[in-house]
Every structure is written in structure tokens, then in C-alpha cells.
Chains A and B, each alone.
Chain A
Amino acid sequence: MVQSLNLLKESPSQTAGPYVHIGCTPNFSGIDIYGGDLGTTMKTGPVQGTEITVRGAVFDGTGTPLRDAMVEIWQADANGIYPGNDPRGAADPHFTGWGRSPGDMETGEFTFQTVKPGQVPWRNGQLQAPHITFWIVARGINLGLQTRMYFADEVAANADDPILSRIEHQNRVPTLLAQPDGAGGYRFDIRLQGDAETIFFDI
């Protein structure tokens, strides 16, 4: 026997189930207790930077969109500062950095009205390409899936990104690139399984 490390174990994850909306977006599911759902608005006033809309859907291994997923995003402001607890200083006071979308009940499409994030340094100070962190939960997903959305039109920054450039299977990098939709927004579809499976991260 050896000494105990006295560490606790993380609470194991369980699926969010089909009724995640009751707890996380109750107004969306018709329960008006809180007066509004958290995460529906990322802009609380005039924001700095370029305003964009990010749309997409989550698809299962048969190509069917999930109509009961909940997607959350976390990102820096236009200057590359995270709202809330970034040790480097204060972010845009009118930007929350965090969004939550239950997706459309028929099409599964999620929508975020946000701003294009600035560049954030990696651990060694090197700048990462602009990106948005995604977290996906749903019925059938036992542990929330983390991935990142990058911007297909940030060609130079993406080429220098410390994560994108390290991926062994470069033919999978396009699964992380949101495409301009021609209307000042971006389309980012997430595929859980199959040939075009999105890269998920074990962070």
C-alpha cells in the first residue's frame, strides 16, 4: 500500500436526455418561470467588432438532424478577451461570450447572434486562429462533446493555428471550418458519426 492522493473523482457524466429543455431553456419548452432563457442573447448593448450569425445543425450517423440537442458556445470578444474571468483584463462590457441554443424542434437548426472573435494566445503565447468552442449534449450522448468552430475565410490564421496545424489527419480539418453563408454569417454543421465526422476534442 502507498499513501492516498486524497483526490476526489469527478462526478461521472450522464446523458442530458430528451427533456434537457425543461431545465436549461424552460421558456422554449413552454415553462415560464424565469422570465427568459439564459444564453439566448449574447449581446446586451452595442458591441465591438463584426456582428455575425452562426447557424448549423447536429447530425447523427444516419444523416438525420438531432431535434433534441442543446448546443452551447463560448468565445472571446472581438479583441480576443474572454468575458467574465479572463486574467488579462476586462472584455467588451456588452458581450457575454456564452450562448445556448436548443435548436429548432422540427429542423434541429441552432442559431447564435454573436460577434466574430479576436485571436487568443495559446499556452506559449502564439496566437490561435479565431475560433468558437462548442459543447453539444443530447439524448444518446453520454458525455458532452467538445469541438471548435474555425472560420474558413481565415486562411492565413488557420494555417498558423497551433491546434489545426498539429492534426495528423489534415483531411479532417475541414470538419472544423464554418463556411460563409453569403449573408454575413457562417454555417457550421456537426456530424457525430460517419465519413465526415466532426473532430471532437478531449481537452
Chain B
Amino acid sequence: MTQKGYFARDTQWHPPALTPGYKTSVARSPTRAKLSFPTSLSEETGPVFGHNILGPLDNDLIHNFAAADQSAIGPRIVVYGRVLDETGRPVPGALVEVWQANAGGRYRHKKESYLAPLDPNFGGCGRVITDENGCYEFRTIQPGPYPWPNGPNDWRPAHIHFSVFGQGFAQRLITQMYFEGDPMIWMCPIVGTIDDPKAVESLVAALDMSRTIPMDARAYKFDIVLRGRRQTFFENRAEGL
């Protein structure tokens, strides 16, 4: 058995823990250095989810909470893409969970009190498992921006939250998808926790008119990259390089 491990995370690329512009991070960021050590089976294994957990509408947020013959209100979109690792290899069988506000920026959650109304036909969650090529797709309505108590006038850009499982628990990732052309992306303190503009751009989904369904829904492409797994270059050797 060879243990190949994962590429180290680039801590300059990910947001640091302490980002005072995002106020909640101040009391929730560790101050001691993290302890580094190589991955072992404990991190290189991870839960496996079968397609049997999925219902027929799990990846259709327009309909999965709607009454019969009704649908959610808002701009209808398809969000599609691939889950890859840093070497460009597809990650098949990856569970992707998404959640979002409705078209008016209102979340269906007990602790949410924004005055924009709930949509009775929109729940705001969906999930999908990538196919053998790492591809996933769901349909939803484009979420609205919403205000939040950080600065006195802070608004989140339109976004969809993504939770992704890879093949090892070390790849576990939660992130957010933004929409091409949204001017609010560059004002947001949460987006601003990321230092490198190229890293921010990697979270902005591209409008893809070639995948649009005419007279039905526009399409956005959002690829997700998980940590790469080290290769063994010579398979007859007991250990990788």
C-alpha cells in the first residue's frame, strides 16, 4: 500500500483566518500557528455517498420545494461545471451540496429577518453527485443580493454556497460562487478576505450562452478545484517520489 498524500494547501491563496473587514472573523480566528504534518489514512480516506441518497428533484431548486404545478420566482438558470483536482483529473462521485437565498435575497432560515419576503415555492437547497467525468449540473433561480450587519451598509453580492466532498477528508471544502459582471463582488468584505484577485476570479461563474436552454433558462459554468493527490510516477516503486 502506498500513501501518496495531498498537495499542501496554499495559505496565501485561501483567505487567512483573521480578516477584520469581516467582523465575525475577529473573535473566531485562531491566533496560534497551525500544526503541520503529512497526511495519513485518517485524512486520505473519506465518506462515500451513493446515488441512492438522491431524490429526482434534488438538483432542481426551481421545483424541489414548489407546490404541484408551481415553480420558484426569479431568473431561471442552469449551473453546471466539473469537480477537478489540482492535477486536472476529474473527481467522480463527489457530493456537491448548494444553498442560497431566493430571488429577493431572502433565506429560508429561522434566524433570518430580512424584510424581503419568502417565496412559498422556493426552499433554497439542492445536491448532486458528480458523474464519472466529474461533471455536475443543477437548475435554480438566480439569487438576489442581501444586506447584512457587518459595516453599516454592507451587501452580499448574489452568490450560491457550495459544500464539496472529494475522495479524502483532507479535500473537504466549502466556498461560494459569484456571478459574472456583478459589481458588488469587489465591494464585499467576505470576498475581500481573499487577497489575490485571481483567486477571487476563480469563484466567479461565467455566463455560458452555449449551454443556455432557449426560452427557458440561462447557464452559468462553475468549475471547482479540490486539492491534488500526489502521483506515483513509477508504479513498480513502493513509494511515490
- Measured CB to CB, the residues of A under 8 A from B are 6-24, 26, 29-31, 33-35, 38, 60-62, 64, 66, 68, 72, 74, 76, 82-88, 96-98, 105, 120-123, 128, 131, 133, 135, 137-146, 148, 163, 166-167, 172, 192-194, 197-203
Q: Flag if B109 contacts A29 (CB, 8 Å).
A: yes
Q: Flag if A133 contacts B42 (CB, 8 Å).
A: yes
Taking CB as reference atom, which chain A residue is nearest B53?
Answer: A38
- Within the complex, which residue of A6, A8, A60, A140 is in contact with B225, where a contact is CB–CB below 8 Å? A8
- Within the complex, which residue of B15, B98, B170 is in contact with A12, where a contact is CB–CB below 8 Å? B15
Q: Flag if B108 contacts A22 (CB, 8 Å).
A: yes
- Within the complex, which residue of A10, A22, A38, A148 is in contact with B107, where a contact is CB–CB below 8 Å? A22
Inter-chain pairs besides A11-B202, A202-B36, 9 sampled, C-beta below 8 Å: A10-B10, A22-B99, A22-B108, A34-B55, A66-B28, A133-B43, A142-B193, A199-B35, A201-B37
Q: Say how far B127's CB is from chain A's closest CB, in angstroms.
A: 8
Q: Is the interface of B mostly helix, strand, loop or mixed?
A: loop
Bitwise, B199-214 to A at CB < 8 A (1) or not (0) is 1101100000000000
Which chain B residues lie closer than 8 Å to A14 at the CB level?
15, 161, 174-176, 190-191, 193-194, 203
Which chain B residues lie closer than 8 Å to A148 at the CB level?
42
Bitwise, B107-128 to A at CB < 8 A (1) or not (0) is 1111110000000000111010
Q: Flag if A120 contacts B42 (CB, 8 Å).
A: yes
Q: Given A201-B34, A202-B9, is A18 in contact with B111 using a C-beta cutoff of 8 Å?
A: yes
Count of chain B residues with Cβ under 8 Å from any Cβ of A? 87
CB contact list, B6-57 vs A, under 8 A = 6-11, 13-17, 19, 22, 24-32, 34-43, 45-49, 53, 55, 57
Q: Say how far B154's CB is from chain A's closest CB, in angstroms.
A: 13
Which chain A residues lie closer than 8 Å to B14 at the CB level?
10, 12-13, 142-143
Q: Say how far B111's CB is from chain A's closest CB, in angstroms.
A: 7
